[in-house]
């Protein structure tokens, strides 16, 4: 059966584009929703242009009440009945309750070679540490931030003269290859990690 995929984002949505564009032909999944906490997210327009339904749940009216925000997310998700959630630059920390509800069905992409550099500013931290390589990780989402079983990793060199931006661009290009590859496998119930290159 075709798997339904909802993609959650807060920003430009380049990973969302790579996921949506991959779900054609014999792919076992199709996009059913792009959901954002940010009405100004560039990814929403890109999703609409691809004919994917979009929705916005602004987190701000909920203040500190993350559970109420997540209840609103779940209400929208219920209308679209996704089998799989892909976090793709979704900049809200999710509570254990929400994560447990979706555990085993929710993926995230993080721009570091986890377990290195959980959280933000991953590229600056990799460069400050003098790392010779950097990369990205797709993992199942579990209640701890940027943890959970690794489903794929792509590595790139960190080059002399790199800035956080130049390294981020090199990593992002790999994100666009890795995330669709992992999703395709995951949608076929195959959790064997993909290691690139």
Name the residues annotated as catalytic.
110
**Contact pick of 89, 135, 152, 180 for ligand GRF (by CB under 6 A):** 89
How many angstroms separate the CA atoms of 39 and 105, rounded?
25
Cα dist. 59→10, 12, 30, 167 in Å? 11, 18, 26, 30
**Contact pick of 6, 86, 88, 134 for ligand GRF (by CB under 6 A):** 88
**Contact pick of 3, 7, 8, 13 for ligand GRF (by CB under 6 A):** 13
Whose Cβ is closer to ligand GRF: residue 131's or residue 175's? Answer: 175
Tokens standing for 4?
């339904």
Q: Any idea which residue has 């949505």 for tokens?
A: 13
Minimum separation from the CB atom of position 90 to ligand GRF (A): 8
Nearest partner of 70 among 120, 30, 35, 107, judged by Cα? 35
How many angstroms separate the CA atoms of 167 and 122, rounded?
10
175 forms part of the interface with ligand GRF (CB under 6 A): yes
Minimum separation from the CB atom of position 29 to ligand GRF (A): 18
Contact 111, 153 (CB under 8 A): no
**Contact pick of 127, 172, 173, 177 for ligand GRF (by CB under 6 A):** 172
Residue 119's region, left for phi above 0, alpha for psi from -120 to 50, else beta, is left
**Which region among 10-18, 46-54, 127-135, 149-157 touches ligand GRF (by CB under 6 A)?**
10-18
164 forms part of the interface with ligand GRF (CB under 6 A): no
Which residues, including other chains, have CB under 8 Å from residue 100's CB and lie 6 or more apart? 143
12 forms part of the interface with ligand GRF (CB under 6 A): yes
**Contact pick of 111, 135, 148, 180 for ligand GRF (by CB under 6 A):** 111
For binding to ligand GRF (CB under 6 A), which residues are involved?
9, 11-16, 43, 88-89, 109-111, 136, 172, 175
């Amino acid at each position: 059966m075709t798997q339904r995929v909802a993609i959650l984002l807060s920003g430009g949505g380049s990973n969302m584009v790579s996921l949506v564009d991959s779900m054609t032909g014999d792919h076992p999944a199709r996009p059913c929703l792009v959901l954002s906490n940010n009405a100004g997210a560039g990814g929403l327009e890109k999703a609409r242009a691809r004919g994917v339904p979009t929705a916005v749940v602004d987190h701000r009216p909920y203040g500190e009440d993350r559970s109420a925000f997540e209840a609103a997310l779940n209400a929208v998700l219920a209308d679209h009945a996704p089998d799989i959630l892909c976090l793709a630059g979704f900049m809200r920390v999710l509570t254990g309750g929400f994560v447990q509800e979706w555990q085993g069905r929710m993926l995230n992409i993080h721009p570091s070679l986890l377990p290195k550099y959980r959280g933000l500013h991953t590229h600056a931290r990799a460069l400050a540490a003098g790392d010779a390589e950097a990369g990205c990780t797709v993992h199942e989402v579990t209640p701890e931030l940027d943890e959970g079983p690794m489903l794929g990793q792509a590595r790139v060199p960190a080059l002399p003269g790199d800035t956080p931006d130049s390294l981020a661009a090199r990593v992002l290009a790999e994100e666009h290859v890795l995330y669709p590859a992992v999703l395709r496998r995951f949608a076929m119930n195959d959790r064997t990690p993909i290691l690139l290159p």
